[in-house]
């Protein structure tokens, strides 16, 4: 249909601008309409709640004023001395706040009454009044009650009452105040005549109690429309709500809120024509903005179509020359958009075509060098795998050697120990003190050497495969305590139950044997305590063995877990320095960790963790660690 690309682009852009403008206009109108309606609803609800709060505040002010009257000294003196003139003069001061004020005796009979500031002798018995009964039951507090009809005020009114009692809970008087509903709302400016919203105060019997149009007060509240029955029902049930109905002959949005503690509801009506006027203004604004956007879009489309087609034509001219074999031709364009990038890419392609032969040579050379590098890497990988296998074999042989050497060294050592024992028993009485000391030292050093070799044997056997099975730590701990020689001054406390874990039973016996043995050995106090505990931390069990012994300085925390390391001299205490290193190696064998917390003179706590599920143990790695 359109032969020129410029015309196609222009028509396409104008169509898009038109479609976007219409779509945005419709969407904005709908969104704004919804927002406007929701805003209207929120404003009406806020205003109805605000008026309800003002009415409630007016009631509270009347109650507080009545409490002031009820607690006054004038009323107390009247009860004691029957000074009627003083009380009448005092109550007359409040004729602007209460249309009727009366003093009621304990039996509920009015004794003194003022109507609009004038004394009246038309007394009533108000003992059956709800406000009298509530006030008598709750002395010294004012109450209010809505009376649908008062013969004295010839219409609905609000009755306020307070019963005053002295310190000994003796009755001193009851003050009854009455005001009509219009008087209550006369200071609330929302009930004044306005052009926009209409504010009504309606009771549950649909009687209009207050209204800007005084001629409609005390008449029935008329409401029509689809939602009229629902609105009336919710007003009668003292519910808060919102809707649309015909109020007093006007189609209106309606919001209503019950007055707390009263049988009334505040009804706020906004005529629909006010809302409709806002919609008309909105529609006109949307049309004007849409037309403006359309005009601007058409002008921009004309400019953009020319800006797009001009570099395309230049590109077409240059590519036609390149197609004839002229690879020196380049596309000239100053555009920095996609067309400019296209021209740059096209120029780069032409340059690459010129350098094709040279590039092929360089590519072949790079392929050959890469193949040589891959061959060298393959050869190095094979050598590395062979070295790893050899190292594994050497590590196993060294572990076996350590195991055999430990066994072979123990035999002559036992012989030396036995001979030294025989010499001590048979010839000990023939030796002097120095000879006995040397012989005793020989026996002790032989025993320590035997323990050291046993420790080395134990340490070397940790690298061997171990049968993994469910092991009850409860049983292991109790069995270890039984096997230890626990002094009478030391108490071992199990602070928790212990789980069953997947591990080697012998390993757990060694762990708890060394930790409990060390805890007992290094207690330097008259009363020693060793505590064993287990807690959970995610996927791990955390075990702890604590004591109140001599403690360890922080600088030795790492050293004590190294093999053959002790914190005392060999001559002061017989120790191989292997126990904690064995414990550390066993814990790490099961992918756990071990650490110590200690303070010198207070005691130490050793912690270690074990995973809750079974893990594969890499013995070759442990063997390598042992050899190193």
**Residue 440: inside a domain:** no
What tens digit of pLDDT does each residue of 412-468 get?
766 777 777 777 777 767 777 777 677 777 776 666 566 656 656 665 556 566 678
What tens digit of pLDDT does each residue of 570-580 get?
555 555 667 78
Q: What percent of the chain has pLDDT over 90?
A: 13
- The whole-chain average pLDDT of the chain stands at 79
Round to whole Å and give the CA distance between 534 and 210: 76
**Residue 260: inside a domain:** yes
Whether 531 and 481 have beta carbons less than 8 Å apart is answered as no
Q: Among 290, 306, 330, give the residue marking a domain's end.
A: 290
Task: Name the 3-class secondary structure at 163.
Answer: strand
> What is the count of structural domains for the chain?
2
What contacts 325, CB < 8 A, 6 or more positions away? none
Task: Name the 3-class secondary structure at 536.
Answer: strand
Residue 598 predicted with pLDDT over 50 = yes
**Residue 382: inside a domain:** no
**Residue 347: inside a domain:** no
**Residue 441: inside a domain:** no
Residue 622 predicted with pLDDT over 50 = no
Q: What angle do CA 257, 260, 261 make, to 5 degrees?
A: 140
Q: Among 266, 290, 314, give the residue marking a domain's end.
A: 290
Whether 576 and 568 have beta carbons less than 8 Å apart is answered as no
Query: Which structural domain, as residue segments, surrounds residue 487?
Result: 466-627
What tens digit of pLDDT does each residue of 103-157 get?
998 889 988 889 988 988 888 898 888 889 888 888 889 888 888 888 888 888 8
What tens digit of pLDDT does each residue of 364-422 get?
788 888 888 888 888 888 888 888 888 777 766 666 666 666 666 666 766 777 777 77
Residue 605 predicted with pLDDT over 90 = yes
| Per-residue pLDDT at 204 | 81
Residue 91 predicted with pLDDT over 70 = yes
**Residue 10: inside a domain:** yes
CB atoms within 10 A of CB 476: 21
Closest listed residue to residue 69, CA positions, set 30, 43, 104: 104
| Per-residue pLDDT at 628 | 31
What tens digit of pLDDT does each residue of 510-554 get?
899 889 988 898 888 889 999 999 999 999 999 999 999 888 888
What tens digit of pLDDT does each residue of 166-187 get?
888 888 889 999 988 877 777 6
| Per-residue pLDDT at 561 | 84
Question: Rounded mean pLDDT of 269-286?
Answer: 75
**Residue 354: inside a domain:** no
Whether 406 and 453 have beta carbons less than 8 Å apart is answered as yes
| Per-residue pLDDT at 341 | 73
Residue 617 predicted with pLDDT over 50 = no
Q: Among 248, 271, 290, give the residue marking a domain's end.
A: 290
**Residue 413: inside a domain:** no
């Amino acid at each position: 249909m359109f032969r020129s690309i410029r015309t196609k682009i222009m028509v396409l852009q104008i169509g898009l601008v038109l479609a976007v403008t219409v779509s945005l206009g419709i969407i904005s109108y709908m969104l704004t309409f919804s927002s406007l309606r929701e805003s209207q609803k929120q404003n009406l609800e806020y205003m109805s709640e605000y008026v309800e709060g003002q009415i409630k505040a007016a009631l509270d002010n009347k109650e507080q004023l009545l409490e002031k009257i009820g607690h006054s000294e004038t009323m107390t003196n009247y009860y004691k001395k029957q000074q009627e003139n003083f009380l009448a003069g005092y109550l007359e001061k409040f004729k602007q706040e209460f249309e009727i004020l009366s003093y009621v005796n304990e039996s509920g009979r009015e004794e003194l009454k003022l109507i609009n500031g004038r004394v009246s002798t038309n007394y009533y018995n108000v003992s059956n009044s709800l406000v009298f009964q509530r006030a008598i039951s709750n002395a010294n507090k004012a109450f209010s009650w809505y009376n649908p009809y008062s013969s004295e005020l010839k219409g609905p009114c609000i009755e306020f009452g307070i019963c005053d009692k002295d310190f000994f809970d003796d009755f001193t008087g009851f003050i009854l105040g009455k005001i009509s509903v219009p008087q209550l709302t006369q200071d609330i400016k929302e009930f004044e005549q306005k052009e926009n919203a209409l504010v009504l105060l309606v009771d549950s019997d649909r009687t209009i109690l207050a209204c800007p149009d005084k001629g409609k007060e005390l008449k029935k509240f008329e409401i029509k429309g689809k939602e009229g029955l629902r609105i009336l029902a919710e007003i009668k049930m003292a519910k808060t709500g919102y809707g649309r109905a015909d109020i007093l002959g006007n189609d209106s949005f309606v919001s209503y809120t019950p007055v707390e503690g009263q049988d009334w509801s505040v009804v706020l009506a906004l005529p629909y024509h006010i809302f409709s006027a806002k919609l008309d203004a909105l529609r006109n604004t949307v049309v004007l903005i849409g037309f403006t956007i359309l005009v601007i879009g058409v002008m921009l489309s004309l400019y953009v179509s020319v800006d797009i087609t001009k570099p395309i034509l230049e590109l077409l001219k240059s590519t036609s020359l390149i197609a004839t074999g002229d690879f020196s031709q380049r596309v000239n364009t100053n555009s920095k958009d996609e067309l400019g990038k296209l021209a740059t890419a096209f120029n780069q392609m032409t340059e690459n075509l010129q350098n094709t032969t040279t590039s092929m040579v360089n590519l072949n050379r790079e392929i050959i060098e890469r193949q040589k590098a891959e061959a060298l890497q393959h050869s190095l990988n094979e050598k590395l795998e062979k070295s790893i296998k050899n190292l594994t074999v050497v590590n196993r042989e060294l572990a076996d050697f350590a195991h055999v050497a430990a066994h072979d060294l123990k035999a002559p050592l036992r012989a030396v120990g036995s001979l030294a024992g025989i010499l001590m028993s048979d010839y000990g009485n023939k030796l002097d003190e120095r000879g006995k000391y040397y012989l005793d030292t020989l026996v002790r050093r032989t025993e320590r050497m035997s323990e050291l070799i046993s420790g080395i044997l134990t340490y070397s056997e940790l690298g061997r495969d171990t049968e993994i099975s469910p092991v009850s730590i409860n049983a292991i701990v109790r069995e270890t305590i039984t096997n230890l020689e626990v002094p009478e001054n030391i108490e071992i406390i199990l602070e928790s139950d212990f789980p069953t874990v997947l591990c080697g039973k012998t390993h757990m016996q060694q762990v708890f044997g060394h930790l409990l043995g060390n805890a007992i050995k290094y207690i330097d106090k008259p009363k020693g305590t060793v505590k064993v505990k287990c807690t959970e931390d995610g996927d791990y069990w955390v075990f702890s063995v604590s004591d109140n012994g001599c403690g360890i300085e922080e600088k030795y925390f790492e050293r004590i877990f190294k093999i053959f390391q002790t914190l005392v001299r060999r001559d002061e205490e017989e120790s191989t320095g292997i126990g904690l290193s064995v414990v550390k190696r066993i814990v790490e064998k099961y992918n756990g960790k071990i650490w110590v917390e200690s303070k010198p003179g207070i005691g130490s706590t050793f912690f270690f963790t074990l995973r809750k599920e079974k893990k594969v143990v890499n013995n070759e790695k442990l063997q390598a660690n042992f050899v190193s």
